[in-house]
Structure formats: structure tokens, C-alpha cells
Amino acid sequence: MNRSGIKNAARQIMANAAYYSGVTASGHWLRTNQAARILTYHEIGDSPKNPFSVEVRKFRIQMSYLKKQFHVISLRDYREIVAKNLPIPKGTVGITFDDGLSSFWKYAYPVLKEANIPATCFIVAAKPDSGDTRFMAWRDIKRVASEGLIEIGSHSLSHRSFGNLGPKEIWKEIANSKASLENKLNYPVDTFSYPYGTRSDFNDEVVKVVIDAGYKMAVTSISGANRRSQDMFRLKRTKIERGDDFMLFKKIMFGALDSWILIDLFFNFLQKNKGPAASLFEKDTA
């Protein structure tokens, strides 16, 4: 079994253990009544070798379920709720897409538009000019932004882990990506997504740069739901992957994979010490 297969099996085992042991049931009221869950997607399409490529059919079913069973809001609305100290609506969910892939425009956006579901799409700002057809061109990003349903955020300039960069490079990745996006779109870019987003990819100094650059919130890849007290520049998210069937997706929405944060912690421990299992849950493009 390859790494993706091992990871998918681990997700299934952890979710089932939490769900059937009653752990998710005991925390469900708290999560659905006092917290917001933010989902992370990457590619929508038919790429069997990409563990982050969710099939269009599955994505459509997931969005239908969320539309019927949850309160889906934009991250802009979530910012306003927190800023005004308003109650977080029951079952609040936000939807995000990292990387700005062309599959968002081709496959994801039509589904979201048909269901009138808001989302945030995080763009790697150097990619629309790169000629790489895997990423959306500026014309597509501009159209998405202009129609109002999708918020455009920054996913840095070139998608490098800030854990490996110096202060000047970090400022360039964060501030210049915001300036580039706003210049091209004539559109305020207030939300940032840390590249990779694990605990080893950003720290307090990076968060301060995000704040100083003028962003109003930032999302990570750290698993979990967000209570009102959660730092708005360290918001947790829940990743949705290709191997997640509908039953697993429903369990995830009940918090069955919130304990994946333990894998995040364990992974960072292995990363620092280069233990024999260091590659078991190594970072993918995020």
C-alpha cells in the first residue's frame, strides 16, 4: 500500500473509532452550536493519482448535503459575525479551495453557483501569469470575483513553506501576493491561506507579517472546528480528500476527524527528529 492508501486507511480508522465510540456524539452539540467548520478542497475532477482530487459527482453530493443540513456562509460573513460578537449560527460551515487550480473554474464553480453556495478560493499569485494551464488564468479569476459568490484570497506568491524562508522572503510572499491580486482584480484581498499550513510551516512571526500586510484573517491546515475564541489568524480547517466516501464525509461533518490534529502534532515531531516514519504522513501540495 502506498502512502496515499495508508493515509486514507488511517482517516477511515480514526473517523470510525471516534464516531462509533460516541466521541463525536458527545462533542457534536458543541461543534454545531458554538463553532464554525471550514472545509478545504484542492482539485475537483478526475485525477485518480491525486489524493486531493475529489470527483465532480462526489463534490456535487457533498454540496447538496451541506446545503440541506448545514448553514453555509462565506468567510467574509464569518469575519463579520466574530467582529460584531454575534452568535455563531448552528451548523456554520465555510468552504475553501487552495491553489487556484483551473478545475475550480471548470468543475467546482458551476456546482457552487447552481446551489448558490459561497466559497473562498486562494490563489498562488504568481501562477496566473506563468502559462501553467493547471491554474486559472486571470480572466477566469476576474470573472469569479466579479460575480460576488466567491471571495478571492491569497495563498502566497509562489507556494513555499515559510518554515524555510527568511524575513524578507516571507514579507514578499505575503505582502506582494496581496498587492498583485488587488492590482489585477481591483478587489480587496482580506484572507490568507498559509502554504501547506502545518505547525512547521508558520509561526508567531509569520502571523505578525500577515497582520502587518493588512489581511483580516488567515486559515491553516490544522484540523478542527473554530470556536469564537479561536485566533482569526490561525483558523483551523478540515481537509476533504478523494478517498472520502459519503459516509465518511458525513462523519467528518460531525467532527470524526477533528482528532487528526494529533497526527499533525506527531508528524511535526517526526519532521524535526527525522525518525523512520517521517515520510508516513509527509506534506502534499496544500
Could you report the per-residue pLDDT of 64-90, keeping only the tens digit for each?
999 999 999 999 999 999 999 999 999
**Contacts for 85 with CB less than 8 Å, ≥ 6 apart:** none
- The phi, psi pair for 162, rounded to 5°, reads -70, -15
Which secondary-structure segment (H or E) carries 32?
Answer: helix 23-34
- pLDDT: which is higher, 270 or 104: 104
Tell me if 41 sits within 8 A of 241, measured CB to CB.
no
The C-alpha cell that represents 22 in the structure block: 460516541
CA distance 220 to 211: 15
- pLDDT: which is higher, 9 or 155: 155
Q: Is residue 43 scored above 90 in pLDDT?
A: yes
pLDDT value at residue 272: 42
Q: 89: which DSSP letter?
A: P
Q: What is the 3-state secondary structure (H, E, C) of 192-219?
A: EECCCCCCCCCCHHHHHHHHHCCCCEEE
Question: By mean pLDDT, which of 91-95, 101-105, 160-164, 267-271 is the weakest?
Answer: 267-271
- pLDDT: which is higher, 91 or 261: 91
Q: Is residue 204 scored above 80 in pLDDT?
A: yes
CA distance 137 to 106: 12
Work out the mean pLDDT of the chain and round it to a whole number: 86
Confidence of residue 258 (pLDDT cuts 50, 70, 90): confident
CA distance 254 to 195: 26
pLDDT value at residue 47: 84
CA distance 59 to 44: 7
Q: Is residue 23 scored above 80 in pLDDT?
A: no
pLDDT value at residue 2: 54
Amino acid at 242: R
pLDDT value at residue 34: 79
Question: By mean pLDDT, which of 39-48, 203-212, 232-241, 252-261 is the weakest?
Answer: 252-261
Q: Is residue 133 scored above 50 in pLDDT?
A: yes
Mean pLDDT, rounded, for 172-199:
96
Grid-cell match 482569526, residue found = 232
Q: Is residue 29 scored above 60 in pLDDT?
A: no
pLDDT value at residue 201: 94
Question: By mean pLDDT, which of 6-10, 107-111, 212-216 is the weakest?
Answer: 6-10
Domains annotated for the chain, with CATH where assigned, are: 35-241 (3.20.20.370)
Taking the model in full, what pTM does it have?
Answer: 0.87
Tell me if 122 sits within 8 A of 98, measured CB to CB.
yes
- The phi, psi pair for 267, rounded to 5°, reads -60, -45
The C-alpha cell that represents 189 in the structure block: 484581498
Measuring CA to CA, how many Å separate 197 from each of 140, 204, 243? 26, 13, 21
With CA atoms as reference, report the closest residue to 222 among 242, 245, 200.
200
Residues of the chain above pLDDT 90, percent: 72
pLDDT value at residue 101: 97
With CA atoms as reference, report the closest residue to 68 among 115, 19, 32.
115
pLDDT value at residue 103: 96
Q: For residue range 212-248, what is the model confidence (pLDDT) as tens digits?
A: 999 999 999 999 999 989 999 999 999 999 989 999 9
Q: Is residue 282 scored above 50 in pLDDT?
A: no
Tell me how crowded residue 139 is: count the other CB atoms within 10 A of its CB: 10
With CA atoms as reference, report the closest residue to 8 among 265, 222, 257, 209.
257
